[in-house]
Amino acid sequence: MTSIERVRHEPDWYEPYRISLAVRANGLIFVSGQAGIDETGRTVGPGDVEAQARQAFANLATVLGEAGATLADVVKVTIMVTDMSSLDVIIKLRGEYFAEPYPADTLLRVAGLAQPDWLIEIDAIALDPATARR
C-alpha cells in the first residue's frame, strides 16, 4: 500500500494555492517547484537570476530539511528558467549546492512562470533518508 504524507513548513508559502511544498511517498520526497521567493511569498532580487536562484535553492533546502533530508539526498532536479543566457550562473550554482554524484537534471527555458517577475523555478526528487536504501 502506498503511503503519501505532506511535508509542511511554517509559514507555508504555497498553502494559499493548495500546493504541497513536498510530499513523501515510497522512500522518495517530491519537492514542488521552488522559486526565488521569501517565506511571505515576495520575490527576492527582481531581475536578478542569481539572487532568485540562490533563494530557490535555499527554499529547496528548507523544504527538504522539514522532511529530514538535505540537498545531498537529491537524485533529480528540474530547473526552469525564462532566459537561457543565465546558463553560466546555473552551472556555477549547481556546483555550489550539489556534489558528486550530481543529481540527474533537466534544464528548460520556459515562456513564463507562475509570477511574471520569477526568473527561475527548481523542483526536485530526493531519497527519503528515513526509508530509502542507498
Residues 45-81 pLDDT 10s: 999 999 999 999 999 999 999 999 999 999 999 999 9
One-letter amino acid for residue 1 of the chain: M
The closest of 100, 33, 35, 21 to 66, measured between CA atoms, is 21
One-letter amino acid for residue 126 of the chain: A
**Angle, CA 125 vertex, CA 6 and CA 72 arms, to 5°:** 110
Q: Where are the domains of the chain?
A: 4-127
Give me the CATH code for the 4-127 domain, please: 3.30.1330.40
Burial pattern 66-81, b for ≥16 Cβ within 10 A else e, equals: bbebebebbeebebbb
pLDDT averaged per 10 residues, the chain (length 134): 78 78 93 93 95 97 96 98 96 96 97 96 96 62
